[in-house]
């Protein structure tokens, strides 16, 4: 079965999971931490190279102050609790997004986690926190403008590759498979550039309910899809024949 190299996930439904149980929304976010571990375990077992999780969007700062504060405490707790175990298992932890919006304490914990795990190669775990796809494209545009102004880049050299090289995740393959829990069928400003040819898979399951069986169904569906990247099915078949040893 074809296995995606890079899996991208929107972890949606924590708040609704709690509300259906007449519990505070923060209880749902705590329950969602278990599903994060399920997803990491699944990727390690299947040999998936990279996992990018949308943990906190740039728009989420507009949520009620009490909920944002609780999320920051959970985030800090996870950094203190999980990094040593991830390091032991060979997971490299990285963060993308506007880090300066976090407190100095959380920002330093993020940097410490990256330093501690930077040599690991078994799984690239990318946490998108205070992240937005449009913001990501805008910062790439600023980087290009800076390089042009400094004479490091000529106008005729600005192409898709030049933009891609300045995006978050520039050193990783684009996501092959995108999963969103929670029942909404949209990508919500997540990896807008990187998801151009990603296969999308949606489920009504709320994030705290995620299990390995659901992830396996997503992989089985992915394996059945023909990824053409703008070509015809016949062209893809011909390329596969050319790669087959004589």
* Residues taking part in catalysis: 12, 60
| DSSP designation for 155 | G
Q: With beta carbons less than 8 A apart as the criterion, state whether 11 and 54 touch.
A: yes
Closest CA relative to residue 127, chosen from 106, 144, 104 = 106
Q: With beta carbons less than 8 A apart as the criterion, state whether 32 and 22 touch.
A: no
**Continuous H helices in 47-117:** 65-88, 104-117
Which residue(s) pair with 99 in the sheet?
Answer: none
Structure tokens at 183: 């029942």
Number of neighbouring beta carbons within 10 Å of residue 216: 13
Torsion sign across C-alpha atoms 191, 197, 198, 204: positive
Q: With beta carbons less than 8 A apart as the criterion, state whether 129 and 97 touch.
A: yes
Q: Are strands 50-57 and 6-10 parallel, antiparallel or unpaired?
A: parallel
Give the end-to-end CA distance of the chain in Å, rounded to a whole number.
22
Which residue(s) pair with 50 in the sheet?
Answer: 6, 124
């Amino acid at each position: 079965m074809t296995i995606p190299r890079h899996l991208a996930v929107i972890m949606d439904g924590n708040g609704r999971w709690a509300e259906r149980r007449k519990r505070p929304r923060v209880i749902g976010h705590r329950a969602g931490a278990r599903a994060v571990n399920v997803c990491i375990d699944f990727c390690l077992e299947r040999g998936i190279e990279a996992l990018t999780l949308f943990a906190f969007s740039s728009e989420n700062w507009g949520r009620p102050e009490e909920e944002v504060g609780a999320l920051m405490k959970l985030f800090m707790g996870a950094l203190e609790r999980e990094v040593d175990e991830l390091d032991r298992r060979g997971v490299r932890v990285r963060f993308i997004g506007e880090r300066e919006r976090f407190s100095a304490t959380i920002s330093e914990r993020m940097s410490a986690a990256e330093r501690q795990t930077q040599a690991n190669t078994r799984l690239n775990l990318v946490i998108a926190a205070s992240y937005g796809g449009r913001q990501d494209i805008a910062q790439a545009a600023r980087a290009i403008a800076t390089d042009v102004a400094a004479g490091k880049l000529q106008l005729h050299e600005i192409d898709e590759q030049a933009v891609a090289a300045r995006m978050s995740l520039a050193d990783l393959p684009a996501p092959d498979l995108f999963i969103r829990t929670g029942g909404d069928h949209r990508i919500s400003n997540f990896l807008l550039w990187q998801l151009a040819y990603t296969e999308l898979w949606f489920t009504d399951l709320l994030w705290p309910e995620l299990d390995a069986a659901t992830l396996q169904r997503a992989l089985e569906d992915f394996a059945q899809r023909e990824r053409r990247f703008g070509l015809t099915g016949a062209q893809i078949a011909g390329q596969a024949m050319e790669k087959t040893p004589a």
